[in-house]
Amino acid sequence: MKKLLPILLFMFASYLSAAQLDYFWDFGDGTISYLAEPEHQYNAAGIYTVKREVYQNGILVMESEQIVDLVTPKIVALEIALPSQIIAKQGTEISALLTTSEPIEMLKYQWFLDEESLGDAVQEAVLEHVFERSGKHMLKLHALWGATIVKSTEIELEVVQESDNIDPGDGTDPDDGNKGTDPDDGNNVTPPDNGNKAPDNSDKTPNHGEGDSGGGGSLGIVSLFGLLCLISRRRK
């Protein structure tokens, strides 16, 4: 990557003569220059502090510095990725999604929950966190180059209790086990013995099956006897 450093212009007192001045430049990447208005190109993304010192007759008469940020312009977007539901007391994975126009290394991420830091800045874009309290919270993310914040974003999230984690469309009813069951169903099949049983008339009422059988036998004997008498008469 090539980056042309814009010429840094500084105002000097009118009595200072160019012939009397000496310059010293430090571009923050280990490169220096003694020219009055040098140009410099950086070979890597970064945030550099450029320093300039002006001497007159060996005496320091002016010094200045400027920050050259070659990281922030390359960041297109920074987003926070969360699961569809966050449950209190359970581990939750939250991620930083960084989009850049060019690859950028050495970035770190620092997380804040309700303005409280969740730890030191780290290079890992994924954080495992346990939300202790339910309710709405504000989650903030900083992307840093060194100690400099180059991009920030935040999002409001809601943490639910584990008991609230019920899908209203799953047809689950905590009382389903009792549905369709009548606590008196067993009594409906066999009524309780209340001492008022219907009287047993088996001894008073003749058995119709046996009576029919006996009657049929007598009729058969009478009919046979009549038939024998009729045959006997005919023979006489």
Note whether residue 89 is domain-resident. Answer: yes
Note whether residue 186 is domain-resident. Answer: no
pLDDT value for 151: 96
> Which of the pair, 202 or 116, is modelled with greater confidence?
116
Average the pLDDT over 111-118 and give the result: 95
pLDDT value for 152: 96
Cα–Cα distance, 99 to 86 (Å, whole number)? 25
Same domain, 104 and 149: yes
Note whether residue 105 is domain-resident. Answer: yes
Cα–Cα distance, 166 to 177 (Å, whole number)? 17
pLDDT value for 17: 54
Antiparallel, parallel or unpaired: β 148-160 and 86-87? parallel
Those residues with Cβ within 8 angstroms of residue 85's Cβ, 6 or more apart along the chain or in another chain = 160, 165
Those residues with Cβ within 8 angstroms of residue 72's Cβ, 6 or more apart along the chain or in another chain = 150, 151
Same domain, 89 and 156: yes
Interval 33-59: pLDDT, tens: 999 999 999 999 999 999 999 999 889
Same domain, 137 and 116: yes
pLDDT value for 21: 93
pLDDT value for 105: 86
**230 — pLDDT class (breaks 50, 70, 90):** low
Of the three residues 21, 39, 69, the one that is the final residue of a domain is 69
Average the pLDDT over 132-160 and give the result: 95
Cα–Cα distance, 1 to 6 (Å, whole number)? 16
pLDDT value for 39: 93
pLDDT value for 163: 77
pLDDT value for 215: 44
Average the pLDDT over 71-75 and give the result: 94
Note whether residue 222 is domain-resident. Answer: no
Same domain, 43 and 64: yes
Average the pLDDT over 108-134 and give the result: 95
CATH label of the domain that carries residue 90: 2.60.40.10
**18 — pLDDT class (breaks 50, 70, 90):** low
Note whether residue 34 is domain-resident. Answer: yes
148-162, 164-178, 207-221 — which one is most confidently predicted on average? Answer: 148-162
Note whether residue 39 is domain-resident. Answer: yes
pTM as predicted: 0.58
Does the pLDDT of residue 114 top 60, yes or no?
A: yes
Same domain, 83 and 156: yes
Note whether residue 64 is domain-resident. Answer: yes
Of the three residues 163, 198, 228, the one that is the final residue of a domain is 163
Average the pLDDT over 117-138 and give the result: 94
pLDDT value for 236: 45
Same domain, 33 and 112: no
Interval 186-213: pLDDT, tens: 444 444 454 444 445 444 444 444 444 4
The domain in which residue 46 lies consists of 3-69
Same domain, 77 and 143: yes
Of the three residues 49, 69, 89, the one that is the final residue of a domain is 69
What total of structural domains would you count in the chain? 2
Determine if residue 224 is left, alpha or beta; phi over 0 gives left, psi from -120 to 50 gives alpha, anything else beta.
alpha
Average the pLDDT over 145-155 and give the result: 95
Note whether residue 169 is domain-resident. Answer: no
